[in-house]
Chain A
Amino acid sequence: MTALRAWLTDPSPSSRRQARLGQLWLAWLRIRRNSLAMAGLAIVSILVLVAAFAPLIAPHDPLVQDLSRRLLPPGTPGNWLGTDDFGRDILSRIIHGARITLYIIGLVALTAPVLGLLIGTVAGYFGGWVDAVLMRLTDIFLAFPRLILALALVAVLGPGIENAVLAIALTAWPPYARVARAETLTVRNSDYIAAVRLQGAGSARIIAGHIVPMCLSSVIIRVTLDMAGVILIAAGLGFLGLGVQPPLPEWGLMISSGRKFLFEQWWVATMPGLAIFIVSLGFNLLGDGLRDVLDPRSAPK
């Protein structure tokens, strides 16, 4: 362990990998001191664990109905967060809902940044009219209010989890394109890019192999901060009945089904909302901390 630490903090690393891992280790040391960011990391880790082991953790099947046990209040033995109007255990549904949430944000995190990176780096690398056209397109999408565009897209595509993901991803890429373009402009004329070009590399190779890696750290921060927003939009679509369809235990959908008896059985709508809030807060805390650590502009004095 100490040998590993010494290797990581070696002031004169002998390989590129050692230098990179050393940088990561130092960043980790800085994040570890930020208690709010660590709280965020803990929340996100718990979300991943709960989603991975949902069937083992959940006390009940999330879909099985038991009308003799409907609308039980929280604290009932066996149903610690109460049951909904079909007698389904709310805790189990929230636990299984973590899978859906993770699925949605995972897909969006894999698609939107890739699209944004592609458009941003291409625009930044080629410049000229390519840049002008692509950036205007980006601005147009940025000018559209996100939720409303997602609504209109889902209205066209039809409700469902994949379409919701598609709609969210199509509204989420412009900020990544902006970030990637800005990073590309700073490295486009560097000597190392010129060297690669002299070796005969084509544009595609330069962009994919030598420019995209330079944009990754800013994009990763942005993704983390963005995930909170994605969770909220996905829940909003679910709440409106345009995202995930019943009987799947999506959190936004669960809130909307609890709305009917809000005043008598408050827990049905409240509990899944708490889950959304905690997970989204976790991503915000983590993203905030990551930015403090990785972004040199906001480094502590």
Chain B
Amino acid sequence: MTDLSPSPQDRRLVRLLVQVGTGLFTLAITLLGLLLITFIIGRVVPIDPVLSIVGERATQAQMQAVRDALGLDLPLWQQFAIYVGDALQGDLGRSIRTGDAIVSEIARYFPATLELATLGTLIGTLVGVPAGVLAATRPGSLADQVVRLVGLMGYSMPVFWLGLIGLLVFYGKLDWVAGPGRLDPSYDMMMQFTLTTYTGMILIDSALNGAWDVFRNAISHIILPAGLLGYVSMAYISRMTRSFMMNELGQEYITTARVKGMPEWRVIWVHAMRNVMVPLITVIALSYAYLLEGSVLTETIFAWPGLGSYITDALFAADMPAVLGGTVVVGVVFVTLNMVSDIVYRLVDPRARA
């Protein structure tokens, strides 16, 4: 007789698969909703898409041809179905300004944003987590107050204003860092024409090429905007770390560890940290997503050729397909990051799997 009832491992796997399946279904519905909202926004624009393509002096026949090509005479639900179908195949339409496919344009701009947001999150995490732990271990102390106030200031500061002040002080007055842009013009030429592009992220590409002077120049350009975004995410991360850590340190297993005579650093960084880490992953993923969004204003200040600049430039050129395409991409990244952090959460924390 063989035992046909599923083993505990199998059962856990099935449960995980069901959870991932439900998650993917929710993701699909959410993405559909995202597309519906951008579709509706795109339909009510007062700008006539036909007119903006053919120009004012087109004949009636030319206009009708473009109208047919865009499918504007079809019923709305059919237009939406086509829009969703195209989006699923990675086609978000063509930019009115350039006539190029929006997806390939965004693919060109996206690495710059990714590079900036990643470095920002890295800085925010490396500073925010220790600051939050410090505040949690000495509640009410001067250190706690300072961390809280610095955090609140980060919440309250308009990021574009802080960027201008940063440029004024560190670039204009002190001359410690390079100004707007990703590279000095001469290095930019070098990057474009003599070095191989692997990822589109200059820090990684220049390092892979061994072009360390380009790398240094890129660091000097990115450090100010990344530090700025890092500060904003640090405000959030340190605050959440503090509250998670406070919660953990009140638990009995911590008292037990202390009574056993375990050194305090080990109690905090090994025992408590393992449990703090789980919710912290979600927080960091969330702040990463917010930095992708926060880049809209930062990139404007620092002339950073990323997704944020792409969207605002398109906005001022009344290039609605490009604006909405960019919005969809940011939304998708946002939703996916949330999804991934949720799945990682379940994988890391056995309690969440039950």
Contact = CB atoms under 8 A, between A and B. Distances in A.
A143 B30 contact: yes
A105 to B, nearest CB: 14
A285 B327 contact: no
Interface secondary structure of B, over-half rule: helix
Interface string B148-191: 00001101111111101101100010000000000000000000
Contacts of A235: 158, 161
Interface string A220-261: 000000001000100110011110000000001001000100
A266 B158 contact: no
A129 B34 CA distance: 20
B161 A155 contact: no
Contact of B164 (A148, A232, A269, A284): A269
A262 B293 contact: no
Interface stretch (A18-26, A85-93, A194-202, A274-282): A274-282
A148 B155 contact: no
Nearest to A158: B46
A59 interface: no
B156 A281 contact: yes
B37 interface: yes
B158 A144 contact: no
Contacts of A147: 293-294, 296-297
B226 to A, nearest CB: 19
A229 B115 CA distance: 25
Nearest to A272: B161
B161 A136 contact: no
Contacts of A284: 152, 155-156
Given A140-B30, A147-B296, A236-B158, A273 B164 contact: yes
A51 interface: no
B111 interface: no
Contacts of A277: 153, 156-158, 161
Contact of B300 (A158, A232, A240): A240
Chain A interface size, under 10 / 10 to 19 / 20 to 34 / 35 or more:
35 or more
Contacts of A240: 297, 300, 312, 315
A147 B300 CA distance: 14
A273 B297 contact: no
B119 to A, nearest CB: 19
Interface string A265-299: 01001100100110011011100100000000000
Contacts of B330: 145, 148
Interface residues of B, number: 48
A114 interface: no
Contacts of A239: 158, 160, 297
A148 B311 contact: yes
A6 interface: no
Interface stretch (B93-101, B200-208, B331-339): B331-339
B33 interface: yes
B289 A145 contact: yes
A58 interface: no
A252 B158 contact: yes
A151 B156 CA distance: 20
Contacts of A269: 161, 164
Interface string A22-38: 00000000000000000
B323 A155 contact: yes
A152 interface: yes
Given A153-B41, A228-B155, A242-B315, A255 B161 contact: yes
A152 B334 contact: no
Contact of B172 (A145, A148, A252, A262): A262
Given A148-B330, A284-B152, A273 B293 contact: no
A208 B18 CA distance: 39
B12 to A, nearest CB: 27
B220 interface: no
A144 B296 contact: no
B37 A140 contact: yes
Contacts of B335: 143
A157 to B, nearest CB: 9
Nearest to B315: A155
Of A156, A266, A270, A281, chain B has the most CB atoms within 10 Å of the CB of A156
Nearest to A259: B164
A152 B327 contact: yes
A262 B156 contact: no
B152 A262 contact: no
Nearest to B339: A143
B30 A281 contact: no
Interface in B308-354: 311-312, 315-316, 320, 323-324, 326-327, 330-331, 334-335, 338
A283 B156 CA distance: 9
Q: Which of A140, A151, A232, A280 has the most CB of B within 10 A?
A: A140
Given A232-B158, A255-B160, A288-B152, A145 B331 contact: yes
Given A148-B330, A252-B158, A255-B160, A137 B33 contact: yes
B128 to A, nearest CB: 17
Contacts of B156: 228, 232, 277, 280-281, 283-284
B292 interface: yes
Given A146-B293, A228-B155, A152 B41 contact: yes
Q: Which 9 pairs between the two chains have the least Cβ-Cβ distance?
A: A273-B161, A140-B33, A145-B293, A281-B156, A280-B156, A263-B172, A143-B335, A152-B327, A276-B158
12 contacts: A140-B34, A144-B37, A147-B297, A155-B315, A156-B45, A235-B158, A262-B167, A270-B161, A273-B162, A273-B164, A277-B161, A280-B157
Interface of B: 26, 29-30, 33-34, 37-38, 41, 44-46, 152-153, 155-162, 164-165, 167-168, 172, 289-290, 292-294, 296-297, 300, 311-312, 315-316, 320, 323-324, 326-327, 330-331, 334-335, 338
Given A137-B33, A143-B338, A276-B161, 12 more contacts: A140-B37, A143-B33, A143-B331, A156-B45, A158-B46, A228-B155, A236-B296, A242-B315, A262-B167, A269-B164, A270-B168, A283-B156
